Amino acid sequence: MHDMGRGHPECPERLAAIQDRLIAAGLWDFLLHVDAPAAHLEQLLRVHDADHIDRLAVVVPARGYAHLDADTAVNPYSLRAAYHAAGAGIAGVDLVMNGRAHNAFCAVRPPGHHAEHDKAMGFCLFNNVAVAVAHAIAEHGLQRVAIVDFDVHHGNGTEDIFCQNEQVLMVGMFQHPFYPYSGDVPRGANMLNTPLPRGTTGLQFRDAVLEHWLPALDAWAPELIVISAGFDAHLEDEMSSMGLIEADYAWVTREIMKVAERHAQGRIVSMLEGGYDLSALGRSVAAHIKELGEF
């Protein structure tokens, strides 16, 4: 019920497209389905300012829409959706850390990786991945968590929250220059940003992962990997100008899983970020989940 108006690309149909594709691919019935709980205030406060949370509560309208910026709007149901989106990552962490699942994919809206510690932006209200990582550290005692972000846009919010954090390594690729026009100069030694030019192909993406991400991840030896899984670098997605296809998302998922097996007992929590061409999104998420589930 969270929508941002007619024609907005971050629309409710995104999750329907994913479900439809998982059913068509024969995967849906083989998955453990878990309803996302709402995140608690104290869990959000680990990564967000109290003023930011209060501002969101005030701005949500009783009817219609309220705009936070040119791209980001809320309706009466948006804040509830955001609490549950953040709660999905927490539940996913608990599932894998307690051994109830080998890994988890959180099909959530709104996305999160643009939300900074004190600001909503870029379709994002709370930083879902950051909330999950902070929960893993605070409640499960992890000392080394890795974030992998392959959304076509730089995860500026995640970098804002965790730059200089000695318990977190973030590796990310993104089209540059492109919204939010950041990331080319990392804000901390724990931020391995890989800007890629428009027109980047899947082969060039794979080369960057092999050259930059995988050595850094192995050196870090993470105890848990959390993925900002954006699928908007797809060749068919008009929100960007890159050339990835489903096979590239399947490949990078396998490579991340190999790192997780070597260092993190296989534990991965993946959270949906971007991806706005509905057909490409559904196919790409299905390829991602097929690898995560080792089907």
Contact 257, 227 (CB under 8 A): no
The sign of the torsion formed by the CA atoms of 17, 279, 226, 121 equals: negative
Q: Would you give the end-to-end CA distance of the chain in angstroms?
A: 32
Question: Is 114 known to be catalytic?
Answer: yes
What is the average pLDDT across 152-180? 98
pLDDT digits (tens, 9 = 90+) for 34-74: 999 999 999 999 999 999 999 999 999 999 999 999 999 99
Q: What's residue 185's pLDDT?
A: 96
Contact 104, 270 (CB under 8 A): yes
Return the SS3 of 132: helix
Q: Choosing from 114, 153, 154, 234, which is the catalytic residue?
A: 114
pLDDT digits (tens, 9 = 90+) for 10-39: 999 999 999 999 999 999 999 999 999 999
What is the average pLDDT across 87-108? 97
pLDDT digits (tens, 9 = 90+) for 201-221: 999 999 999 999 999 999 999
Q: Tell me the three-class secondary structure of 244-295, residue by residue.
A: ECHHHHHHHHHHHHHHHHHHCCCCEEEEECCCCCHHHHHHHHHHHHHHHCCC
> Residue 251 — pLDDT band, cuts 50, 70, 90?
very high
pLDDT digits (tens, 9 = 90+) for 176-200: 999 999 999 999 999 999 999 999 9
Q: What's residue 141's pLDDT?
A: 98
Q: What's residue 69's pLDDT?
A: 95
According to CATH, what is the number of the domain 13-292?
Answer: 3.40.800.20
Pull the structure tokens for residue 261.
């097996």
Return the SS3 of 115: coil
What's the rounded Cα separation, in Å, for the pair 155 and 150? 9
Q: What's residue 113's pLDDT?
A: 98
Q: What's residue 2's pLDDT?
A: 98
What is the average pLDDT across 226-234? 98
Mean of per-residue pLDDT scores for the chain: 98
Q: Locate the domains of the chain by residue range.
A: 13-292
Classify residue 30 as exposed, middle or buried by CB count within 10 Å of its CB (0-12, 13-18, 19+).
Answer: exposed
In the chain, the amino acid numbered 222 is P
pLDDT digits (tens, 9 = 90+) for 266-293: 999 999 999 999 999 999 999 999 999 9
Contact 126, 85 (CB under 8 A): yes
What's the rounded Cα separation, in Å, for the pair 93 and 138? 12
Q: What's residue 50's pLDDT?
A: 98
Q: What's residue 9's pLDDT?
A: 98
User: 191 Cβ partners below 8 Å, 6+ apart?
Assistant: 159, 162, 163, 170, 172
pLDDT digits (tens, 9 = 90+) for 67-77: 999 999 999 99
